[in-house]
Amino acid sequence: MISNLHAQDTAHLFHPASDLKGLRQSGPLIWSRAEGVYVYDDHGRKYLEGMAGLWCTAIGYGNRELARVAAEQIETLCYAPLFAGRSNEPSIRLAAELADWVPMDDARFLFGCSGSDSNDTQVKLVRYYFNAIGQPQRKKILSRGNAYHGTTLLTANLTGLPAFHRHFDLPGPDVIHLTAPYHYRHAELGESEQAFSERLAAELEATIAREGPETIAAMIAEPMMGAGGVIPPPEGYWERIQPILDEYGILLIDDEVVCGFGRTGQPFGAQTWNLRPATMTFAKALSSAYQPISAVAVPPFMYEAIEDAAAEVGLFAHGLTYAGHPVAAAVACRNLELMREMDLMNQAAATGEYFQQQLCLRLGDHELVGQLRGRGLIAGLELVADRASKRAFAPSEKIAFKAAAACLAEGLVVRALPGDTVAVCPPLVITREQVDELVDKLVRGLDRVKTQIAG
C-alpha cells in the first residue's frame, strides 16, 4: 500500500498552499508517524519538526492523554450541535477554561473549526454589532500588508500577501491595507524603529481621515506577524496604534492564531506587546492541532448588543455544523489543562529565551542571514544576497525554498515564507538539547545553500 501512496496522491489529492506543478514532478513528502518533536516519513526517516506542523502542535506529537480523551468522548457523545440552544459538557467546560485564560473580563466564546472561519466570523460580528448600536455605516476593516488572517473569501481579503489574491479576484471592497510594520524592508534610510512606528501611526490617522472614521468598524492584526515573515512589531508600534483606534471607536480584532498559548513567551501576544483588544481569535495551539477547533472571544458590550438585535430577528443566524464539536472541545479543554499542569507557559518562555540566544550566537552573523527576528519559540531568518546593502535574491532563485529543502536533507522541517524568510516554530515542549539539535541542523542547512551558491 505504501508504494502506491505517492501515485495515488499525485493522481487524486488537491494540495493547499503548494506548488502544484512542482508537486506533480517531485511527488509528496508523506508523514507516517510522529512523537514528541519528531516526525517520520513513509521511508522511516526521522525529522525534527521545526514548524510544529503549521505553527500548531504546541504540546508535541503523540500525547497519550489527549488520545485517551478523544477516544472516550467519541464513545460517550461523538457529536452534538450547539444550534437552537442545545449544548454539551465539553463545550461548556472549554468555554469556562478559556475564560480563565484570556485577558478579557466575562468573555463569551463562539466556536469554529479553523482560524480562517473564526476571522471570517469576527468581521460578521463587528458588522452585526455596529448595525445593532445604530452605526450601520461602519463596514470597513483595516488590515496590513504581509498580514495573514485566512483563506476564506473574506479572510483572504484581509490577508496582505499577493499570492493569496491573484486569480481569486481579490482584494475586494471594504478592506484597507496599511503598510506592514516591517522595519527591515520598509524603513527609510537611517529611520529608527521608533520613528518608523511614528510614521505608521501617521499613516493610520491619515487613512482614517481619508475614509471617514464613521465608516471604519475594526482593525484586524496579529500581535506579531506569522506567515507574512515572522515580523515582530517595531519599537513603539502598538503604543502608538492602540490609542488612535480607541480615539475613533475602531475595534481591535486580535488574531492570536499563531501567537496564542505561549508562543511568544506569554500566554498571548496581546500580553507580550500590551494590546487591549476588543475581540480575540484562537485556533492552532488551542487543541495543539489534535482536533480542528477555533474560537472567538467576545466581550460583554458586544454580546449584549448582539443579543438584543438578534431578538428582533428571532435568532442569531450564524454558526457552523461542527462548532463546539464535543470531541474537539474535550481535547482542547484537556490540552489547556495539560499546559497548566506542565507549567508549559513558563517552560516555553525559558526555552524560548535559550532558543533566541542560540540562533543569535550561531546564525546572527551568517553570510546569508540579513535579519534574524522573532520572540519566544518562533523565529524568522530573512535570507539576502548581500548583508550590507540588504540586497535580496532574485525571486526566480527561490532561495528560501532551497534553504527549506537543504534543512529537510539535514533532518529538520522549516518553512519558506514570502520575502525569502525561513520560519522556525518548534513545539513548545522542545528541550534545550533539542534546541541545540535544531540549531545545528539549521546551520548545516544554510551552509549547504551557501555552498550551492558559491559553486
Domain count, the chain: 2
Q: If DSSP codes are grouped into helix, strand and coil, which group holds residue 425? A: coil
Residue after which a domain boundary falls, among 312, 341, 370:
341
Considering the domain architecture, whether residues 92 and 178 belong to the same structural domain is answered as yes
More confident residue, 26 or 238: 238
Residue ending a domain, among 322, 341, 360, is 341
Nearest partner of 36 among 3, 64, 60, judged by Cα: 60
Same domain, 55 and 174: no
Confidence (pLDDT) at 1: 45
> Grid coordinates representing 358?
542560540
Residue 306 and residue 367 in one domain: no
Query: Cell for 212?
Result: 471617514
- Please state the rounded mean pLDDT for residues 431-438: 98
Looking at the structure, do residues 306 and 273 belong to the same domain, yes or no?
A: yes
Give the pLDDT confidence of 202-215 residue by residue, as tens digits.
Answer: 999 999 999 999 99
Residues 381-428 have pLDDT tens digits of 999 999 999 999 999 999 999 999 999 999 999 999 999 999 999 999
- Contacts of residues 380-386 at CB distance under 8 Å and 24 or more positions apart, as own/partner, are 380/229, 380/230, 380/231, 380/417, 380/421, 380/422, 380/423, 380/424, 381/421, 381/422, 381/424, 381/442, 381/446, 382/184, 382/229, 382/419, 382/420, 382/421, 383/420, 383/421, 383/422, 383/446, 383/449, 384/420
CATH code at position 100: 3.40.640.10
How far is it, in rounded angstroms, from Cα 381 to Cα 369? 6
Question: Degrees (nearest 5) of the Cα angle 338, 339, 345?
Answer: 165
Task: Please tell me the predicted confidence (pLDDT) of residue 156.
Answer: 97
Mean predicted lDDT score pLDDT of the chain: 97
pLDDT of residue 454: 83
- Residues 6 or more apart in contact with residue 247 via CB below 8 angstroms: none
- pLDDT given at position 290: 98
The span from the CA of 58 to the CA of 47, in Å, is 17
Confidence band for 3, pLDDT divided at 50, 70 and 90 = low
Residues 243 and 163 in one domain: yes
Same domain, 35 and 162: no
Domain of 114, in residue numbers: 65-341
Burial of 305 (0-12, 13-18, 19+ CB in 10 A): middle
- φ, ψ for residue 27 (rounded to 5)? 80, 165
Q: Is the pLDDT of residue 2 over 60?
A: no
Helix or strand or coil: residue 58?
Answer: coil
Shared domain for 294 and 351, answered yes or no, is: no
Please compute the mean of the pLDDT values over residues 181-187 and round it to a whole number.
Answer: 98
Encode pLDDT of 349-362 as tens digits: 999 999 999 999 99
Domain termination residue (choose one: 281, 306, 341)? 341
Using DSSP, state whether 47 is helix, strand or coil. strand
What distance in Å separates the CA atoms of residue 339 and residue 300, rounded to the nearest whole number?
A: 27
Are 85 and 16 members of one domain?
no
Q: Report the CATH number that the domain containing residue 14 is assigned in CATH.
A: 3.90.1150.10
Could you tell me if 10 and 27 are in contact, meaning their C-beta atoms sit under 8 angstroms apart?
Answer: yes
Q: Are residues 213 and 243 in the same domain?
A: yes
Instruction: Please report which confidence band the pLDDT of residue 57 belongs to, taking 50, 70 and 90 as the band edges.
Output: very high
